[in-house]
Structure 1
Amino acid sequence: MTTDVWLPFEPHEIQGIPEASEAGLNYRFWDGGPEFPADPADCAFYVVPYMKGTEIAVRPLSAMTSVRVVQTLTAGIDHVEPGIGFLAPGVRLCNARGVHEASTAELALALTLASLRGIPRFVEGQRQEEWRSGFYPALADKSVLIVGYGAIGSAIEDRLAPFECARVARVARSARATERGPVHPLADLPSLLPEADVVILSTPLSETTRGLVGADFLARMKDGALLVNVARGPVVDTKALVAELDSGRITAALDVTDPEPLPAGHPLWHAPGVLISPHVGGSTSAFRPRAQRLLAAQLTKYVAGLPLDNVVLTTAS
């Protein structure tokens, strides 16, 4: 029986983790370095290094012939999907639901407020020693559309509640009811987009959502609307977005881009009305304690033979 657990944190840093000797586990620290910490074939529980990209995430998977659990530290699993075909049947792939909601929702609100209230213009004015006063849009009385109403989308709405928005509409893969109101299916986007002053993307990247925000989606947004992306870069067709930004019809605030990192000289850097942050939605001081609590809970359940949390798929034969 394989007992190795690969962790991107030193095990002594994780409060509540099962004692290795009592649980019969061998903890191996690996955060994506060039050398593996042990033979991947002996790994039973693999915690994917955080924010190290697909190549590193997938690198050991083909040799992990005995792995039973692959745990990401991200809400999305798109960076490990290319390696799923290497896995034996019955491997559970778990995401990090509960780790990033606070930080990502915080940034979604920050980008929205900064864009509406003209913060980038003020920063540039300060550099130029110019007093750029005037009237700027407020979030109050705006209609907001959240596209991707999972845990992060719900957390975004939590943070919108005090801002006196006129309306918050919700869209997910399929329709459902919530205490706050209905969640619309993706098919309803054409009728919802023209009514939204702010469109916030928090959807996972999948074959359904890749390129979702294309020329037609953007054309349906109302004049003067703001697009906020804290999801994944490929959810948006970058070329179509640049064309709309160049027209001056809409604005955008992006924590993620396609390509990413955005290379020097790319037209998106200097498109009018765009604010760009470098994919920092989840990488805050809130990440480590929540990630470590998740790993302690998951490993405790794994050792006890209990069902794991956040299982998004189990590999088939």
Structure 2
Amino acid sequence: MSADDSGSARPLVWLPFPAERIEGLPDTLDYAFWDGGPDYPTDPARCDFYAVPYVTDPEPCTRPLAAMTRVRVVQALTAGVDHLLPAVEHLPKGAVLCNARGLHDASTAELALALTLASLRDIPGFVRAQDAGEWRQGFRPALADKSVLIVGYGSIGSAIEDRLAPFECARVTRVARSAREAARGPVHPIAALPGLLPDADVVVLAAPLTEETRGLVNAGFLARMKDGALLVNVARGPIVDTKALLAELDAGRLRAALDVTDPEPLPPGHPLWSAPGVLITPHVGGPSSAFLPRAERLLRDQLTRFALDAPLQNVVVAAR
């Protein structure tokens, strides 16, 4: 059911998609559609469940939060919620922030593999040769027999390893915040990185942006990577020290494939655009045809739980 400002007693949900698009939504809730535009669909103070629009600019996402005085759930459609965390302290006591763990696994893991293969096999060079009408043959490295280090072994990191399985990698090493055993083998703690980096041919970043991971890939991290290694970032730009990365790229010692950058969007004329050995995509790990059906499933599940007053999935933090 759609909502207006008539003062219905039913809980009100702000959705980033029209409610009629999502089959199976609870009929005990009212729904309003807001995609981040300048005009709100209702008074924000009436919103009980806020499904955050899936936009790259954090400003529209956080703009209505200060006025959402009775909101109980803020549901992101991103795995990372660093853009929403500063607003949590202003939410009503007990309101929860949920991320979209699992939503972007397929799409982001697919892009991580695509960036890795494209960089190793020099697809950008072939495209430039095609544009110039030139037939440039030559030897290129394969992913087969390479050692891959995944930094950030959550659901996306695990999905990346799933997609690496058929490519005959020599080894896949997993790193997360703390050590544990995963289905495919041991997961090492971040503290073990200095000893793991020198053996990796490909380092894939899939970690969330936290105070622990901000600037993690600094000059020391990069210096420990082996000559000719490839850095793939499908996580967040500020995890990498851009100046330190540029120094390694300009020296020709490392290569990089970046779906995210710092700054972002990358402005015209920034040296990363023209750095040797770098492939850049404009933060497109999530937005693909895989996004919408998975987003609809997540929202349907969370709203069903919300309507039944059942525990929600993917709770990151609660307001105090």
**Residue range with higher mean Cα deviation, 45-54 or 295-304:** 45-54
Distance in 2 (alpha carbons) for counterparts of 1:289 and 1:16: 13
Matched, 1:169 2:184: no
1:45·1:71 contact (CA, 8 Å) conserved in 2? yes
1:255·1:278 contact (CA, 8 Å) conserved in 2? yes
Residue 7 of structure 1: which of 10, 15, 22 is its match?
A: 15
- The amino acid of 1:75's aligned partner reads A
Distance in 2 (alpha carbons) for counterparts of 1:3 and 1:292: 19
- The amino acid of 1:160's aligned partner reads L
Q: Which residue of 2 aligns with 1:271?
A: 275
Number of aligned residues: 312
Q: Which residue of 2 aligns with 1:291?
A: 295
Residue 18 of structure 1: which of 17, 22, 26 is its match?
A: 26
Q: TM-score, normalized by length of structure 2? A: 0.96
Distance in 1 (alpha carbons) for counterparts of 2:30 and 2:43: 12
Distance in 1 (alpha carbons) for counterparts of 2:160 and 2:97: 25
1:156-213 Cα shifts (integer Å, max 9, x gaps): 0000000000000000001101121110000000000000000000000011101110
What's the RMSD between the two structures over aligned residues? 0.9
Q: 1:158 and 1:305, CA in 2 relative to 1: closer, same or farther beyond 3 A? A: same
Q: Which residue of 2 aligns with 1:225?
A: 229
1:2·1:66 contact (CA, 8 Å) conserved in 2? no
Residue 261 of structure 2: which of 254, 257, 264 is its match?
A: 257
Q: Which residue of 1 aligns with 2:156?
A: 152
Alignment of 1:5-84 (within 5 A): 5-19=13-27, 23=28, 25-84=29-88
Alignment of 1:61-210 (within 5 A): 61-210=65-214
Q: Secondary structure at the match of 2:317?
A: strand
Q: Secondary structure at the match of 1:70?
A: strand
1:267-297 Cα shifts (integer Å, max 9, x gaps): 0000000000010001000100000011011
Q: Secondary structure at the match of 1:83?
A: helix
1:58·1:82 contact (CA, 8 Å) conserved in 2? no
Return the offset for 1:2.
6.5
1:242·1:268 contact (CA, 8 Å) conserved in 2? yes
- The amino acid of 1:49's aligned partner reads P
Distance in 2 (alpha carbons) for counterparts of 1:193 and 1:145: 8
Q: Secondary structure at the match of 2:48?
A: strand
Distance in 1 (alpha carbons) for counterparts of 2:293 and 2:263: 30
1:32·1:52 contact (CA, 8 Å) conserved in 2? no
Q: 1:52 and 1:225, CA in 2 relative to 1: closer, same or farther beyond 3 A? A: closer
Distance in 1 (alpha carbons) for counterparts of 2:88 and 2:295: 22
- Structure 2 residue runs of 5 or longer lacking an equivalent are 1-8
* Percent of aligned pairs sharing the same letter: 70
Return the offset for 1:315.
1.6
Return the offset for 1:52.
3.8
Distance in 1 (alpha carbons) for counterparts of 2:17 and 2:56: 14
Distance in 2 (alpha carbons) for counterparts of 1:169 and 1:289: 31
1:6·1:30 contact (CA, 8 Å) conserved in 2? yes
- Structure 1 residue runs of 5 or longer lacking an equivalent are none
